[in-house]
Amino acid sequence: MAQDKIKKRAYLVDSSIYIFRGWHVYPDHMTDIEGNPTNAVYGFTEFLHELIQLEQPEYIACAFDAKQTHSYRREIYPDYKANRPPAPAELKRQFQYCRDFCRAAGIADFSSNRFEADDIIGTLAARLRGDGYAVTIVSADKDLAQLIKPGDIWWDFARDKILHYRDVERTFGVKPELIADLLALSGDAIDNVPGIPGIGYKMASNLLKKYPGVEHILENTDKIAKMKFRGSARIQRLVEEHKHILPMTKQLTTIVTDAEFKGPKQDLRWHGVDENALRQMFERLNAGPGRRERWLSLQSY
C-alpha cells in the first residue's frame, strides 16, 4: 500500500486483534526461556515487522486493551462484554510481552483501565488530524471504520483489505459517521451490546438511509410503517417497543475521541529500534538468530 506522499501519515495499530491471531495461528510449543508460551508474541511481532518493512512508517503507535478495572462502558451497561470468558494466564503474560516489545522496538504504546483500544485510537486520530496528519487504522474491526475521514484508511492487514472513506458505505451499508448508529440498532453480539430484536445490519442501514442517525429515527418512529419495504409496520412496532435502549446502545457503540490516558500524546515518530533493549527482549523470548537479525537490521526511515 503506497503511502500518501502529500500529507503526513500516522499508523494506529489495534494490537489485540493481531495478538489473538498469533495465539490461534501459531503452535503453543513456542516458549520463552522459562518455558512460557510465546506464540501470540511471535505472531504480533512478525506482523509488526512486516508492517514496518512494507510501509516504512514515520509515525506509528500501538493501542492495547487493558484490564478495564474502571470501564467507561460498564458504567453505562454492566453486562458490556460480560459474555467473554477471561483470558487465560498464559495469554495475559504474552500481552505484557507485546507491550514490552513495542517499547524495545521504539514504537509508542498506549492502554487505559477506563477506555478501550478503540477509544485510544479514536483520540489519537482526532489529535493527529488536528496537526495535519492523515491516519491509517490497522485493524480488522468494523467498529473502527466509524473513525475514517476523507484521506484516512482502514486496513485489515492480514487480509490486505483496504477501505477508504467512500468504500465504507459500500462495505457496511452506511457512511463512517453512521457505523455507531448501525451497531446501536442491530446490536453487537461480540461485545454483548443489545440491539432491537429483528433488526440486522441490512434493515438498520435501510432505516439510516431514510433517517440518518438514531436521534432522527427516534424523532420519526411513527413514520417507519410508511417506508416502502416489506414488513415496515412490523419494524415500526419493534422500534417503538425497544426504542428506550437506543440512547444507551449508541453510547456503547460510539468510539470516544477525547479519552484521557497516559503515553506520548504528541510524538509518535518512530526513531528505530533500541538495540540493547531488543537484544534483551529476544533473550527473554528465546528467539532464534534469524528473527533477531531481521529486527535489528530495521532502522527508522
pLDDT (tens digit per residue) in 264-288: 655 799 988 999 999 999 999 999 9
Assigned C-alpha cell, 230: 416489506
What's the rounded mean pLDDT across residues 131-143? Answer: 95
Q: Which CATH architecture has domain 176-253?
A: Orthogonal Bundle (1.10)
pLDDT at position 205 is: 97
Assigned C-alpha cell, 55: 510501509
CA distance 44 to 19: 5
- Provide the pairing of β-strand 153-156 with 133-138: parallel
Does the pLDDT value for residue 255 go beyond 90?
A: yes
Does the pLDDT value for residue 203 go beyond 80?
A: yes
pTM of the model: 0.94
Helix (H, G, I), strand (E, B) or coil at 111: coil
Q: Is 276 exposed, middle or buried (0-12, 13-18, 19+ CB in 10 A)?
A: exposed
Q: Matching CATH topology for 8-169+256-296 and 176-253?
A: no
pLDDT at position 182 is: 98
As a whole number, the mean pLDDT across the chain is 93
CB-based contact 11:59 (threshold 8 Å): yes
pLDDT at position 87 is: 85
pLDDT at position 90 is: 87
Assigned C-alpha cell, 157: 492487514
pLDDT at position 4 is: 46
Portion of the chain with pLDDT greater than 70, in percent: 96
Does the pLDDT value for residue 1 go beyond 90?
A: no
Q: Where along the chain do its domains lie?
A: 8-169+256-296, 176-253
The CATH superfamily holding the domain 8-169+256-296 is: 5'-nuclease (3.40.50.1010)
Does the pLDDT value for residue 155 go beyond 80?
A: yes
What's the rounded mean pLDDT across residues 220-245? Answer: 96
C-alpha distance across the termini of the chain, in Å: 16
pLDDT at position 28 is: 87
- Provide the pairing of β-strand 8-14 with 59-63: parallel
Q: To which residue does cell 442517525 refer?
A: 213
Edge to edge, the sheet with strand 108-110 lists 108-110, 59-63, 8-14, 133-138, 153-156, 161-163
CA distance 209 to 212: 6
pLDDT (tens digit per residue) in 103-131: 999 999 999 999 999 999 999 999 999 99
Does the pLDDT value for residue 301 go beyond 80?
A: no
pLDDT (tens digit per residue) in 14-43: 999 999 999 999 998 999 999 999 999 999
Q: To which residue does cell 506482523 refer?
A: 47
